[in-house]
């Protein structure tokens, strides 16, 4: 396999670390983009070679159709990552990205590639249904919902710019809200669950239920903060990744 795959439309490699022994793939939240993870990529370089995934329908891919089915998105991301599996590879997903990372890990294992680690952040177990229908909200209600979830941790663009992101937000929420867990064997990939202690969407107990989805080691890390705890807890998250990848 090549030592460096082409990044293409899907992969952002903000801080290339070709000498690093491991790679970490970062998968954003609903409505999020690869640039959300720029600070974490910078914090981990050059120890870890970080790849951030850019979903269609946002930023430089804004003219592409969004993918509103999580299984389809997992298939596409898996195909993009296969050329990067020439060295140990771990997955880190936040919120929607956590379930997507889990589904990508399943697909990689089915192909004989076991990820080094699966980091699931800001999301409860994949088989837990919230019954939310955020993607059906009108534009005003969707803006309000996203602003409240961001809290004081995530910098939200002014309303005019925020409304430009509504198509990707709506599509991503449809993908995660219509997702149904596919029965199958648990992962062998070790799992690390991370969450904020004041996340309105996920309690530490919810995050702990990820232990059911692997026969490998499981670790739970709880940080001070809400749904986007990792913005203010960047150093702690980077330390946790370095410690558990070692």
Residues acting as catalytic residues: 95
With beta carbons less than 8 A apart as the criterion, state whether 189 and 214 touch: yes
DSSP 22: -
Please, how many CA atoms are within 13 Å of residue 222, restricted to the half-sphere of its CB? 11
DSSP 58: S
DSSP 64: S
d(CA 18, CA 28): 23
- Joined together, the tokens standing for residue 184 give 């199958």
DSSP 151: T
- Joined together, the tokens standing for residue 179 give 């997702």
**Dihedral pair phi/psi, residue 192, rounded to 5°:** -120, 120
With beta carbons less than 8 A apart as the criterion, state whether 241 and 119 touch: yes
Which residues, at least 6 apart from 123, have a Cβ–Cβ distance to it below 8 Å?
A: 93, 94, 95, 96, 98, 99, 201, 202, 207
CB-based burial, 59-86: b 16+ in 10 Å, e otherwise? eebeeeebbbebbebbebbbebbeebbe
- Joined together, the tokens standing for residue 80 give 């993009």
């Amino acid at each position: 396999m090549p030592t460096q795959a082409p990044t293409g439309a899907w992969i952002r490699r903000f801080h290339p670390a070709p000498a690093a022994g491991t790679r970490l793939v970062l998968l954003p939240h609903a409505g999020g983009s690869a640039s959300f993870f720029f600070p974490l990529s910078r914090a981990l370089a050059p120890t870890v070679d970080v790849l951030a995934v850019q979903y269609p329908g946002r930023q430089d891919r804004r003219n592409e159709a969004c993918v509103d089915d999580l299984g389809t998105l997992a298939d596409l991301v898996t195909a993009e990552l296969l050329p990067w599996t020439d060295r140990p590879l771990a997955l880190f997903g936040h919120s929607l990205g956590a379930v997507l990372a889990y589904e990508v890990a399943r697909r990689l294992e089915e192909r004989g590639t076991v990820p080094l680690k699966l980091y699931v952040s800001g999301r409860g177990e994949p088989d837990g249904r919230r019954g939310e229908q955020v993607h059906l909200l009108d534009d005003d209600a969707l803006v309000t919902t996203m602003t409240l979830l961001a809290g004081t941790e995530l910098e939200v663009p002014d309303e005019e710019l925020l409304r430009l992101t509504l198509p990707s937000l709506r599509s991503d929420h449809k993908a995660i809200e219509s997702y149904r867990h596919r029965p199958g064997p648990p992962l062998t990939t070790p799992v690390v669950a991370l969450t904020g202690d004041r996340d309105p969407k996920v309690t530490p107990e919810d995050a702990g239920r990820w232990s059911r989805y692997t026969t490998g080691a499981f670790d739970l890390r709880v940080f001070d903060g809400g749904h986007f705890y990792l913005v203010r807890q960047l150093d702690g998250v980077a330390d946790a990744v370095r410690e558990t990848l070692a």
